[in-house]
Structure formats: C-alpha cells, structure tokens
C-alpha cells in the first residue's frame, strides 16, 4: 500500500521572481516576513533586492545566520528574531540549508519545544499540525529540491542530524527562477547537482510502490545527466541551469517515495560535530558503493537508469557515476573529504537508525554500513 500525493504550488521559469513573489505574498496575506538566508548570498545583494521587491506592501527582516548544515541553534536564533520582529511569514532564500532552516523556524514558531520530538524517528510526523505560518521558498541552487519537499534535515544540539517530515512542512509556494543560479560557482553547481541526481537514482530504486515517483525520477535523471557537466563548466547559460533546476525539483517531488542507504550515510556523516561536510559531495562519493550493494535486489532496474543517463547497456552504472563525479572535479573518496576512520565508526550505527534506511531496497545493518563506509573511504 502506498500514499501518493503531489500537492504543491510551483512557479517555474527564468525571470519570474518579481511577479511570482508579489503574487504569493498577496495570496498568503503576508504583512511582515522573515527572510532566511546566508552570508554568501548577502554578499551578492539578492536578499536586499528581495526585501526591496516586497516593500512597501510587505515589511521584512533579514536573518542571514544560516550555517552550511542547518542547526537547532540557528533555528532558535531565527525564531527569536521572528518573534522579536513580530513576523507573520517566512521567506527562504538560498540552498537547501536556508529552506530547511526556515521550515524548522516555522515549525518551532507554532509548536512547543523541544525540536527533537518532531523528528521522524521520534514519531514526529503525527505531532506536526496544520498551523505553521506561511512559507515561500526561493531556491538559489539546483540540488536539494527542499522548496517542493515535505522534509527538513536539522543538526540537533546533541549533534544528531535528523529528518523532520510532514505535509505541513511543504512550502506554501516555491519560486524556481533559474536566473538565480547563474552565478553559482562550478564546484557548488557540481556538488548540489549530484545531490539532485542522487535523489532521482535513489528514489527510483527505493523499496516502495510509487509509479508516479519513478516516472518523475527518471525524467529528472535524464535532465541532470545531460546538463550537469555543462552547468558546472559554463554556468552562464540559462538552458542547462533551467534543466538542472528542473532535475532538482523532480528529485524532491519524487523522493517523498523514499530514499535509501546513500542518504542514511550522508545524514550520519553530515551531523559529525565540528565538520561541514557537503551533503551533495557525500552523496556523490557514496552512491556508486550503494549501487553495488543494492545490485542483488534491484540490479534488474539499472538498465532504465543507464538509458536515462544515455549510457551504453554494457556500461557499469556505479563506475559511470564515479567517473562523472571525478569529471566534475569532486572528491571520489571520503578520505579526500578529510573524513577519518573514527568518523566511520561513529556514522555506521547512526546510518542504520536514519529514517531513509527503511526504504533502501536491500536491508542494511550497522555492519553493512560499516563495510560501505570503509569501501568509500
Ligand atoms: Zn539529498
């Protein structure tokens, strides 16, 4: 049995930010918005531009303290500003971190703490009610697709990187304007793009019956595989940027079906204290190893993935993804990312406990994760 839903509102197209933003603020009756963004984007002037776009009808306050991996501490700081400034809505502007952080601020502004009780593994899905303030998500990367997703990944004060999932966490509107990604540097384009590609692959082979998700994932994979190299080498072209943003959107529309062992491990590693490991980079390193591990269960489905990536039928899917990662100039091992052997011991049991482990097509134990992490080292 499956629950299949695709109820989300998306504006998609180059140059539509201004018009879509005004329309959505009016529709949602927003009067004072907290703009959740990061310091990198502040330097580009985009948050100021958005604030000016909203004025004079909608007042706004900028919170630019989004960490590379969003944390409970940043959620608390954002919530404080939201309350001090008497905001009535959130506007997330940035990559998946800013969007996930805005979701967590929206959640904590309308639900009593502590945040950890709303995590999926603590039965949070049933505790998140339909009383969150309006949230508009404006992605500036093409990767996580959090703008259309019902989840947020937050590093708690105790260093666990946990998933929060609810239909009420889906932004009230996503504004996907690929023009906002034109200046994203090659390295980040590649790393976030590999996150989108991983979502499509991992969703497609997840152990759940959801044909619409499979179709969306294959379409997203086609777009990602055909455009990621060009977007990462000549980022000034709007067409590959548009295709990558579509791939990211598709990946996240599809992954409500469920992810798997790649994300179980990248969540575990991403929460390591004192580290800022990039989620997309971790996925790119881990994906080939998980594909080999899962092959006995779902290898028969790899032909369609290879076809979507325009690979010959004789190609090895895991090897081809490793090669793509290397071509993009990304690390291909965990040691290249300065992960240590001790980190692997910490991450293996956490991966087994991660909510995405449940939908991996081949059952994976802590010992299996220790082996996979060691292979990827
Ligand atoms: Zn991801």
Domains 2-180 and 185-376 share a fold: no
Query: Long-range pairs for 82-86 at CB < 8 Å and ≥24 separation?
Result: 82/34, 82/109, 83/109, 85/32, 85/34, 85/61, 86/32
For position 3, what pLDDT does the model report? Answer: 56
Determine the distance separating the centroid of ligand 1 and the alpha carbon of 111, expressed in angstroms.
26
SS3 347: helix
DSSP class of 207: S
Determine the distance separating the centroid of ligand 1 and the alpha carbon of 197, expressed in angstroms.
9
Determine the distance separating the centroid of ligand 1 and the alpha carbon of 280, expressed in angstroms.
6
Looking at the domain covering 2-180, what would its CATH class be? alpha beta
Determine the distance separating the centroid of ligand 1 and the alpha carbon of 324, expressed in angstroms.
17
pLDDT tens per residue across span 147-176: 999 999 999 999 888 999 999 999 999 999
CB 250 within 8 A of CB 234: no
How far apart are alpha carbons 347 and 373 in whole angstroms?
A: 8
DSSP class of 131: -
Determine the distance separating the centroid of ligand 1 and the alpha carbon of 262, expressed in angstroms.
9
Determine the distance separating the centroid of ligand 1 and the alpha carbon of 339, expressed in angstroms.
19
Helices first, then strands: H and E counts in the chain: 14, 8
Determine the distance separating the centroid of ligand 1 and the alpha carbon of 74, expressed in angstroms.
20
Determine the distance separating the centroid of ligand 1 and the alpha carbon of 253, expressed in angstroms.
12
Determine the distance separating the centroid of ligand 1 and the alpha carbon of 245, expressed in angstroms.
14
pLDDT tens per residue across span 177-219: 999 999 999 999 999 999 999 999 999 999 999 999 999 999 9
Determine the distance separating the centroid of ligand 1 and the alpha carbon of 304, expressed in angstroms.
21
pLDDT tens per residue across span 223-242: 999 999 999 999 999 999 99
For position 5, what pLDDT does the model report? Answer: 58
Listed by start position, the domains of the chain span: 2-180, 185-376
Residue 303 has pLDDT above 60, yes or no: yes
pLDDT tens per residue across span 59-114: 999 999 999 889 999 999 999 999 999 999 999 999 999 999 999 999 999 999 89
Determine the distance separating the centroid of ligand 1 and the alpha carbon of 269, expressed in angstroms.
13
Residue 8 exposure: Cα atoms within 13 Å on the Cβ side: 31
DSSP class of 214: H
SS3 27: helix
For position 326, what pLDDT does the model report? Answer: 98
For position 7, what pLDDT does the model report? Answer: 67
Percent of the chain with pLDDT over 70: 98
Sequence-separated (6 or more) residues with CB below 8 Å from residue 338: none
CB 90 within 8 A of CB 34: yes
The chain-wide mean pLDDT, for the chain, equals 95
Looking at the domain covering 185-376, what would its CATH class be? mainly alpha
Residue 1 has pLDDT above 70, yes or no: no
pLDDT tens per residue across span 30-43: 999 999 999 999 99
Name the pTM for this structure: 0.94
Residue 12 pairs in a beta bridge with 176
């Amino acid at each position: 049995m499956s629950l299949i839903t695709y109820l989300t509102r998306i504006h998609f197209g180059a140059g539509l930010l201004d018009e879509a933003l005004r329309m959505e603020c009016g529709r949602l009756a927003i009067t004072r918005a907290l703009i959740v963004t990061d310091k990198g984007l502040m330097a580009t002037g985009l948050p100021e531009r958005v604030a000016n776009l909203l004025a004079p009808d909608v007042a706004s306050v900028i919170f630019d303290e989004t960490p590379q991996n969003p944390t409970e501490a940043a959620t608390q700081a954002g919530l404080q500003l939201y309350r001090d400034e008497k905001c009535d809505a959130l506007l997330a502007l940035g990559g998946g971190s800013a969007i996930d952080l805005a979701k967590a601020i929206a959640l904590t502004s309308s639900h009593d703490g502590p945040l950890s009780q709303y995590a999926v593994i603590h039965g949070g899905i049933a505790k998140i009610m339909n009383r969150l303030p309006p949230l508009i998500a404006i992605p500036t990367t093409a990767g996580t697709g959090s703008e259309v997703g019902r989840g947020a990944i937050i590093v708690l004060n105790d260093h666990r990187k946990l998933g929060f999932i609810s239909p009420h966490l889906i932004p009230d509107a996503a504004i996907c304007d690929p023009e906002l990604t034109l200046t994203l540097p090659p390295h980040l384009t590649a790393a976030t793009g590999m996150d989108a590609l991983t979502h499509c692959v991992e969703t497609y082979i997840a152990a759940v019956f959801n044909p619409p998700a499979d179709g969306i994932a294959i379409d997203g994979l086609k777009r990602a595989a055909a455009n990621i190299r060009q977007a990462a080498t000549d980022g000034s072209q709007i067409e590959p940027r548009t295709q990558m943003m579509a791939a990211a959107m598709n990946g996240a529309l599809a992954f409500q079906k469920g992810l798997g062992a790649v994300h179980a491990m990248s969540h575990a590693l991403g929460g390591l204290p004192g580290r800022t490991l990039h989620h997309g980079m971790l996925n790119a390193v881990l994906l080939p190893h998980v594909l080999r591990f899962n092959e006995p269960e779902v290898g028969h489905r790899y032909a369609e993935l290879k076809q979507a990536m325009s690979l010959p039928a004789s190609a090895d899917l895991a090897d081809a993804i490793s090669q793509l990662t290397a071509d993009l100039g990304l690390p291909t091992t965990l040691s290249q990312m300065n992960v240590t052997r001790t980190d692997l011991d910490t991450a293996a049991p956490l991966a087994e406990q991660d909510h995405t482990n449940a939908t991996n097509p081949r059952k994976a134990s802590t010992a299996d994760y220790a082996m996979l992490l060691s292979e990827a080292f």
